[in-house]
């Protein structure tokens, strides 16, 4: 698959239909009607997996899991028996896109929310999707669910999210898929300048905005957790490893050890996706054996900064049956 271009630009044209409490757009919030289709490898999908866990929406929204690799046509359900999603009855996610838009010509992306009653994709607008899970699905939140998008902090969360998306979440891709030295170095400089800025911001506060976990922390975490395993080498983001950036490394470990974060991470699938699918960058498709992962479970010391991870709420229950990830492989 070919991704490389002189200066990488992400296609942000998504199906922007929203599922809302009032159903104004034709899709009302309704338990058991929708299926969230994700892949553990994908950082954008990982956001939705985390938010669904933190809010306790497992019983309201089922989750379909694509495998870590895909071809130019579509993500596939190769982890399921017979390669067919057991709820939607399809082998390829593209079938749900084409059911909604027969001539759909944009990316077949995860996460996507599918209307089980029609088999049609409702939305793949990943930035809005998690905000709506927080604000529109409140009737189905678990008791003790955290407020990930508190109204009083939304302007600041939005501002931080915009900077993190531009320079970090998408910045690593701009490094990896740059087609010229100049474009790569510009993206590299922006990435590490923003990581330095984030280190300063987090040096004396436990979370990105306020004293609890918010949407901003979810969005940064899914990039940081992939940094050493993929982005440092595969995408040439190699000024520093995450483990060599003390504040961000401690912050990432703090979140990883928080229920709902680390228990959604499958490093094996993450590495397989990037190193196999991006054959322009890694033509041998050899998947690295490292890095060693035991450090993710070491003490982080961030409790000394105070803060209340779930605010007035409580941690989520353990992952639902069938949604567990493999335990970390730790070498001595």
Q: Is 296 annotated as a binding residue?
A: no
Catalytically annotated residues? 42, 173
Residues 270 and 43: beta-carbon distance below 8 Å: no
Instruction: Classify the C-alpha dihedral 199-189-69-121 as positive or negative.
Output: positive
Number of neighbouring beta carbons within 10 Å of residue 63: 20
CA dihedral 131, 135, 139, 142 (to 10 degrees): 60
- Side-chain-side CA neighbours of 161 within 13 Å: the count stands at 20
Residues 47 and 124: beta-carbon distance below 8 Å: no
Which DSSP symbol is given to 270? H
Largest interatomic CA distance in the chain = 56
Q: How far apart are CA 314 and CA 57, in angstroms?
A: 14
DSSP labels for 139-160?
GGPPTT---SS-GGGHHHHHHH
Segment holding 172, helix H or strand E: helix 171-176
Q: How far apart are CA 19 and CA 34, in angstroms?
A: 10
Binding-site positions for glutathione read 75
Binding-site positions read 75
């Amino acid at each position: 698959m070919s991704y490389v271009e002189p200066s990488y630009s992400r296609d942000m044209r998504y199906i922007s239909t929203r599922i809302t409490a009032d159903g104004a757009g034709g899709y009302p919030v309704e338990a058991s009607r929708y299926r969230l289709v994700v892949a553990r490898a994908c950082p954008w999908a990982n956001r939705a997996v985390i938010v669904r866990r933190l809010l306790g929406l497992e019983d309201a929204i089922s989750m379909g899991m694509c495998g870590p690799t895909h071809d130019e046509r579509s993500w596939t359900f190769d982890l399921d028996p017979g390669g067919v999603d057991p709820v939607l009855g399809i082998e390829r996610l593209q079938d749900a896109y084409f059911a909604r838009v027969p001539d759909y010509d944009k990316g077949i992306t995860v996460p996507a929310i599918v209307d089980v009653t029609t088999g049609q994709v409702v939305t793949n607008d990943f930035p809005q999707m998690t905000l709506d899970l927080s604000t529109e699905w409140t009737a189905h939140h678990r008791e003790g669910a955290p407020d990930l998008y508190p109204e009083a902090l939304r302007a600041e969360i939005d501002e931080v999210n915009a900077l993190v998306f531009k320079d970090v979440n998408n910045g690593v891709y701009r490094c990896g898929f740059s087609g010229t030295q100049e474009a790569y170095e510009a993206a590299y400089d922006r990435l590490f300048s923003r990581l330095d800025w984030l280190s300063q911001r987090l040096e004396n506060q436990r979370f990105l905005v306020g004293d609890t976990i918010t949407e901003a922390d979810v969005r940064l975490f899914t990039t940081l957790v992939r940094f050493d395993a993929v982005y440092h080498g595969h995408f040439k983001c190699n000024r520093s490893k995450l483990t060599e950036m003390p504040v961000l490394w401690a912050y990432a470990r703090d979140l990883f050890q928080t229920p709902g974060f680390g228990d959604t991470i499958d490093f094996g699938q993450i590495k397989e996706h990037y190193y196999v699918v991006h054959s322009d960058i890694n033509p041998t498709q050899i998947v690295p054996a490292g890095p060693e992962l035991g450090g993710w479970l070491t003490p982080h010391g961030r409790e000394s900064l105070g803060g209340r991870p779930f605010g007035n709420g409580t941690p989520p229950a353990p992952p639902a049956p069938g949604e567990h990830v493999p335990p970390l492989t730790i070498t001595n």
